Amino acid sequence: MGWLEGRFEESVITTSLEQAINWARESSMWPMTFGLACCAIEMMATGAPRYDIDRFGAGAFRATPRQADLMIVAGTVNFKMASRVRRLYNQMPDPKFVIAMGACTCGGGPYYKYGYNVVKGVDLVVPVDVYVPGCPPRPEALLEGLMRIQDKVKAMKDLTQGQPLTVPIPSRTGYTLLPPELHDPDPQKALEKQNEFARRTKEKAAPAKA
């Protein structure tokens, strides 16, 4: 709110004004085109006529972060891409929101165990407001995610409370939690255990001689 932020006491005027401002904000959440992988296809389908995200006011996908207030991270985030995701998030003006769309952004998804190049969840990179699980989530699921963001916007109290000053720090590490038979504090022993496991499963998976 700039100068007006957090300045007022709660009264009927300020709450009505807040409601009006929040309604304007939630009815025109312009997403940034951030389709990284397969979830982008479902995002495109959501923008298409059948599931029409434009009826929520969010149909104007902006290519530049300067004009967007919603970042729908749709797709797997690699380590190479993670720095770009963070930089673009930084370049978005406030108030900004993030939807983590798809299993890959929620916690690594199918690449959780063996994906050495995948960031296990985009909330390790940017603070996420709404998680939309699915692989890929249906357009209706993404629309529900958008509606949850709209609820979040409805609950914003800019005039009376102001916005939080700091960005949340992720509490996860992103490393996978391996079961005891694969994990060992000593890295050399852990590697031996994992190789042994891989060899055993490969033997089991060998096709029977006809």
Partner 1 sequence: METLTPLAAVILLFLAVGIGFIFVHLVAGKFIRPSKPDAEKKTVYECGEPTIGSAWIQFDLRFYVVALLFVIFDVEVAFFFPWAEVFGKAQAVASAVMPADDDMRGWLNYGQKALALIPNTPENATTRRDFAGMGDLSNVPEGSKQATIDKWKRAFHANEDVGRQLMWVSLAEIVVFFGVLLVGFAYLWRRGDLEWVRSTLAERPASGSAPPPPSNGVGPVAAPADGVLVGAGTPTTV
For residue 87, the minimal CB distance to partner 1 (Å) is 5
CA angle centred on 171, ends 99 and 129, rounded to 5°: 15
43 vs 53, which CB is nearer to partner 1? 43
34 vs 131, which CB is nearer to partner 1? 34
19 vs 163, which CB is nearer to partner 1? 163
165 vs 208, which CB is nearer to partner 1? 165
For 72, phi then psi, to 5°, come to -95, 100
* Site residues for partner 1 per CB under 8 A: 1-5, 21, 64-66, 83-85, 87-88, 90-95, 158, 163
What contacts 116, CB < 8 A, 6 or more positions away? none
User: Exposure pattern of 18-28 as b/e (b: 16+ CB <10 Å)?
Assistant: beeebeebbee
For residue 52, the minimal CB distance to partner 1 (Å) is 28
For residue 178, the minimal CB distance to partner 1 (Å) is 33
For residue 180, the minimal CB distance to partner 1 (Å) is 40
4 vs 135, which CB is nearer to partner 1? 4
For residue 113, the minimal CB distance to partner 1 (Å) is 28
What contacts 2, CB < 8 A, 6 or more positions away? none
Sheet strand arrangement including 31-32: 31-32, 70-74, 97-101, 130-132
126 vs 143, which CB is nearer to partner 1? 126
For residue 158, the minimal CB distance to partner 1 (Å) is 7
What contacts 97, CB < 8 A, 6 or more positions away? 29, 69, 70, 71, 129, 130, 149, 152, 153
